Amino acid sequence: MSERLAYNLNILALFGISGVLLFAFYDQFAKGELPCPLCILQRAGFCIVGLGLALNVIFGSSGRHYGLMILGAFAGGAVALRQVALHVVPGTGSYGDPFFGLHFYSWAFVVFGVVVLGAGVMLVFQPPEGWGTRFRSAFGTLATVLFFLVAFGNGLSTVAECGSGLCPDNPTSYETFDALMERFNKPK
C-alpha cells in the first residue's frame, strides 16, 4: 500500500467518524432524543478513534495512532455491547428509534468492529519503519477541522446535558440550561 493511499484512507475514515457523530447530533437535536450515559461514552470512543485518524492525517500514519484507534474502538465497542446486552432481553425495551432495523448502540458496535479490523489491516500493510511522510491536502484539512468541531460540540453537549455531575440514566432535559434558567428566574 502506498503512503498516499494510506493518507487518503485515513481522510475517508475521518469523514466517516465525523459523519457518525454528526448523525448522532442530528438525532439529538432534530428528533429531541438526548443521549444516555452509555451513548455519551460511545461518542467518546468515536472521538478517540477520530483523534487517532486526525493524528494520522496531520503527522503521517503511525502504529501509535492506529493503536489509539484500536483502544478507542475497543472501549466504545465494550460500552455498545453492554447497551445491547441491556436491551436484548425481551420486554426490557430499547433506547431510541431504530435505524435500518438496528438501534444506534448496535450500529456503534458494528462500526467499532470495522474500525478495529481497518486499523489492523493498515498496520499489516504499513512498512516496519512506518510512514513518516506528511501530505497536505484541502480534504485532509477539512476532515480534521470538521472532526475537531464535531468533537468539541459533543463535549459542549455533554456538559449542557449532564452539568458538573453524573449524567441522568434517562435524560429528559439539559441540566445545565435548566439550572441557569432556574437561577435567572429566581425571585429576588
Average pLDDT of the residues in 83-87: 83
CA distances, 138 to each of 3, 45, 57, 141, 187 (Å) = 17, 26, 11, 5, 53
Average pLDDT of the residues in 177-187: 72
Average pLDDT of the residues in 123-148: 84
pLDDT at 95 over 70: no
H or E segment and range at residue 58: helix 37-59
How far from the centroid of its chain's Cα atoms is residue 156's Cα? 14
pLDDT at 129 over 80: no
Q: Which domain does 35 fall in, by range?
A: 3-184
Q: At 171, is the pLDDT very low, low, confident or very high (cuts 50, 70, 90)?
A: confident
pLDDT of residue 23: 92
pLDDT of residue 96: 64
CATH number at residue 7: 1.20.1550.10
Q: Give the mean pLDDT of the chain.
A: 87
pLDDT at 131 over 70: no
Please compute, for residue 153, the number of CA atoms within 13 A of its CA located in the half-sphere on the CB side. Answer: 15
Cα 148 to Cα 150: distance, rounded to the nearest angstrom? 5
pLDDT at 178 over 80: no
Higher pLDDT, 100 or 54: 54
| Count of domains observed in the chain | 1
Tell me the pLDDT tens digit for each residue of 152-168: 999 999 888 887 778 87
Average pLDDT of the residues in 141-148: 95
Average pLDDT of the residues in 18-45: 91
pLDDT of residue 98: 64
DSSP 116-138: HHHHHHHHHHS-TT--------H
Cα 147 to Cα 124: distance, rounded to the nearest angstrom? 26
pLDDT of residue 27: 87
Cα 118 to Cα 122: distance, rounded to the nearest angstrom? 6
Tell me the pLDDT tens digit for each residue of 105-119: 889 999 999 999 999
